[in-house]
Amino acid sequence: MTEEHLHVRKGVAASHDGMIAPPRKTFRKKTAEPPNLTAIAEKVKQGSMRELAKAITFIESNAGDHYLYGQKLLQELLPSTGKAIRIGITGVPGAGKSTFIESFGTMLCDAGHRVAVLAIDPSSSISGGSILGDKTRMEKLAKHSNAFIRPSPSGGTLGGVHRKTRETMLLCEAAGFDVILIETVGVGQSEFIVRSMVDFFMLLALTGAGDELQGMKKGIMELADAIVVNKADGVNKQLAEKTKNEFNQILHFLQPATKGWISKAYTCSALKNEGMDSIWSVIGEFRETVEKSGVLNERRRRQTKEWLHTLIMEQLKNNFYRHPYVKDQISQLEQAAMDGDITPSQATESLFREVYGDK
Amino acid sequence: MTEEHLHVRKGVAASHDGMIAPPRKTFRKKTAEPPNLTAIAEKVKQGSMRELAKAITFIESNAGDHYLYGQKLLQELLPSTGKAIRIGITGVPGAGKSTFIESFGTMLCDAGHRVAVLAIDPSSSISGGSILGDKTRMEKLAKHSNAFIRPSPSGGTLGGVHRKTRETMLLCEAAGFDVILIETVGVGQSEFIVRSMVDFFMLLALTGAGDELQGMKKGIMELADAIVVNKADGVNKQLAEKTKNEFNQILHFLQPATKGWISKAYTCSALKNEGMDSIWSVIGEFRETVEKSGVLNERRRRQTKEWLHTLIMEQLKNNFYRHPYVKDQISQLEQAAMDGDITPSQATESLFREVYGDK
């Protein structure tokens, strides 16, 4: 058992949340012929939604062979990726993310864009199902022939959700979607994860910057390429303008999220479909700026490199913390360290000696 | 060789920067008798500077047996730690950190406090020597019988520097120092590291908040329990007041660094010894607040727990990235991933298969 966990022998498909899953010959019954991956890839490139959904299912699978199909497909499709603009959207609950995406996405689809909506919702790991990306929240957009909505992958670790969303984004690009919207709630590290895979990151806010900010996570504002004050309609309109100005004042003091780009605040009303076109213009301007300066290419390359190292660390962490000895001892050692009975160095040493050392 | 690196067999004292070093019987020549650690610990507790310095040398050593002496000493001294107030100090170059510590520390020493000054300077890993904590920068304080100044540990990884500083802090507490000042320059993640080991974190700033902020690292202000605008003297005095007010405005919008404590900006002149007593009062008020509310105890316990997991991750990372196959392949795989020739998942998989899997 120790050996199995430690050296990750002969495939570790069972428990690693699809992070790394070498094929395991005896893992599944031979009930089905292996799929023709080249044919699927070809159809994805031609824009087949059916085959795209199939490919995503493979990517999202934790089973060894399906996982491997997904990786092979992705490998074949890699040259066809990277052409979309990748937009991250976050905001406190109630900021109107769904309504915004419904309104913004529909406008883009009507203009001939192909829009894929993905989501990262860490809470779905607990509930087992995702409220985000749910088609019932974006009824009009969901019906649009140019739109594709995929809920957050559910179950498994945040690392798994991270990988699946990132790889799904690439599949969508290969299928010809030219706008990717990745939505997230503000749970855990989800905004930082979305920021690490998008070109443009947008913070959706409500009126009343002061109070609003109090509820914002540390450092979030500094990730944003734009802050959009939503619900700027009716009696709220004036307050939204005031909030926008307050945000601009604060943004002035912060480091820019993107080199060569000045993050600003804007207002819109997703409900009334107002301000959507200006936001699209801002994103267009952003894209032009960062493409010309090389910042976009640099960012994407850095994101890919960081992602490789994130995967490595996730895998190391999973292998270690899932080792039976570690699972058995860790709480006790944490407690002893917190109580001042043992130094954390000694606790670490004792774990590594048992897990990796001779006995 | 692979085995050695992989399974961390029989001690890996040679290259791990003192992170984890089980004793290696044949590691050092038997030139000296093992030291009487209980006697040293006793003398440290009695306040012997000579024995404290010896204990720190053990803690800072990367050699297996010395490292182990350090850990044993620390273990014996653990019950005598935790009584000091731990203060972190950072600031942009030129903010006057040395002058501040000289002035602030001397005031405290004169008032009967025993003050230990430590430093984290990641750049010392490169230069091999540290400019921080250098006694020549704090001449008056260095000569004070109540002060102890230790430069940043040099050489090795940031993780090593982190461990050494943290454990040195505990030794100093056991030796009866009741005020710990940990200074850092703004290199890499050093402020975050210092924040993770202190009770109170102070940001030293210069006049002209706007420009000042532009040079500040993202998220730094949200770590601060106080921002102190230094050099509030002469013609600069009025500007310092203005800057203080600007900082207060911004702080108002940020999440508090410490639960139940409102971070504010203050002015001082380290050069003229002005405002030092008020800052000490603020820290006293802070301490009273967080001790009463339990936030201090909670923070320290959380810091210890997080530190345990940081050590584990550092060790996992070191073992992996120092594996010869990984060292050999990683740049190539990074490049292939960034060029879009391979998915990061596949790159990770291939590394893990080679390092941990069967061949």
State the pLDDT at residue A124.
57
**What average pLDDT is seen over chain B?**
85
Q: Which residue has the higher pLDDT, B30 or B112?
A: B112
CATH number of B179's domain: 3.40.50.300
Residue B164 maps to a domain: yes
Q: Is the pLDDT of residue B29 over 80?
A: no
Give the number of domains in chain B: 3
Residue A18 maps to a domain: no
Residue B14 maps to a domain: no
Residues of chain A with C-beta less than 8 angstroms from the C-beta of B81? 340
Give me the domain span that covers residue B191.
81-293
- Min Cα distance A102 → chain B (Å) is 31
CATH number of B45's domain: 1.20.5.170
Quick one: B98 and B245 in the same domain? yes
| Closest to A342 (Cα-Cα) out of A359, A330, A354 | A330
Distance CA B48, CA B35 (A): 16
B204 strand-pairing partners? B91, B228
| Closest to A183 (Cα-Cα) out of A215, A139, A137 | A137
State the pLDDT at residue A128.
44
State the pLDDT at residue A153.
85
Question: Both tokens of residue A75?
Answer: 């490998």
- Min Cα distance B304 → chain A (Å) is 6
Residue B19 maps to a domain: no
Distance CA A321, CA A15 (A): 12
State the pLDDT at residue B215.
62
Quick one: B276 and B127 in the same domain? yes
Residues of chain B with C-beta less than 8 angstroms from the C-beta of A344? 304, 307-308, 311
Q: Is the pLDDT of residue B276 over 50?
A: yes
Residue B302 maps to a domain: no
Question: Both tokens of residue A307?
Answer: 């992602």
Quick one: B187 and B222 in the same domain? yes
Pick B82's closest partner by Cβ from A307, A334, A340: A340
Global model pTM greater than 0.90: no
Quick one: B47 and B152 in the same domain? no
Residue A2 maps to a domain: no
State the pLDDT at residue B255.
81
State the pLDDT at residue B190.
87
Asked if the Cβ–Cβ distance from B250 to A253 is below 8 Å, we say yes
Distance CA B10, CA B96 (A): 47
Cα distance from N-terminal residue to C-terminal residue, chain A:
15
- Min Cα distance B297 → chain A (Å) is 10
Pick B78's closest partner by Cβ from A81, A218, A340: A340
Quick one: B170 and B278 in the same domain? yes
Please identify, among B49, B80, B111, the residue that sits at the C-terminal boundary of a domain. B80
| Inter-residue contact B150 to B118 (CB < 8 Å) | yes
SS (H, E, C) B9-33: CCCCCCCCCCCCCCCCCCCCCCCCC
Please identify, among A80, A109, A135, the residue that sits at the C-terminal boundary of a domain. A80
Render each residue's pLDDT in chain A as its tens digit; 359 residues. Answer: 333 333 333 333 333 354 554 444 444 555 567 899 999 999 999 999 999 999 999 999 887 789 889 999 999 999 999 999 999 999 877 788 999 999 999 999 999 999 999 988 876 554 444 444 466 778 899 999 999 999 888 767 778 888 999 999 999 999 999 999 999 977 778 899 999 999 999 999 988 655 556 566 777 888 999 999 999 999 899 999 999 998 898 888 788 899 999 999 999 999 999 999 999 999 999 999 999 999 999 999 999 999 999 999 989 998 999 999 999 999 999 999 999 999 999 999 999 999 988 43
Q: Is the pLDDT of residue B1 over 50?
A: no
State the pLDDT at residue A212.
58
Pick B8's closest partner by Cβ from A167, A255, A352: A352
Distance CA B342, CA A74 (A): 9
| Closest to B134 (Cα-Cα) out of B122, B157, B111, B152 | B152
Nearest 10 degrees: CA dihedral of A62, A68, A73, A75? 110
What would the pLDDT profile of B170-220 be if each residue is shown by its tens digit?
A: 999 999 999 999 999 777 788 999 999 999 999 999 887 555 565 667 778
State the pLDDT at residue B135.
61
Distance CA A199, CA A300 (A): 8
| Closest to A8 (Cα-Cα) out of B166, B353, B81 | B353
Quick one: B50 and B131 in the same domain? no
- Min Cα distance A143 → chain B (Å) is 32
Q: Length of chain B, please?
A: 359
State the pLDDT at residue B9.
30
What is the DSSP annotation of A68-132?
HHHHHHHHHHGGG-S-SEEEEEEE-TTS-HHHHHHHHHHHHHHTT--EEEEEE-TTHHHHSS-ST
Quick one: B235 and B119 in the same domain? yes
Residue of B nearest to A22 (CA): B349
Asked if the Cβ–Cβ distance from A216 to B10 is below 8 Å, we say no
A240-249, B8-17, B250-259, B334-343: range with highest mean pLDDT: B334-343
Q: Is the pLDDT of residue B292 over 70?
A: yes
Distance CA B35, CA B32 (A): 8
Quick one: A49 and A189 in the same domain? no
Residue of A nearest to B212 (CA): A253
Quick one: A251 and A174 in the same domain? yes
Q: Angle B154-B157-B163 (CA atoms, 0-180°, nearest 5)?
A: 80
State the pLDDT at residue A249.
85
Reported ipTM: the value is 0.82
Distance CA B217, CA B191 (A): 9
Quick one: B151 and B40 in the same domain? no
Asked if the Cβ–Cβ distance from A305 to B346 is below 8 Å, we say no
Residue A144 maps to a domain: yes
Residue B235 maps to a domain: yes
Quick one: B149 and B178 in the same domain? yes
- Min Cα distance A140 → chain B (Å) is 34
At residue A228, what is the residue type?
A: V
Q: Which residue has the tokens 């009716």?
A: A234
Distance CA B72, CA A135 (A): 60
Quick one: A148 and A62 in the same domain? no
Mean pLDDT along residues B62-86: 92
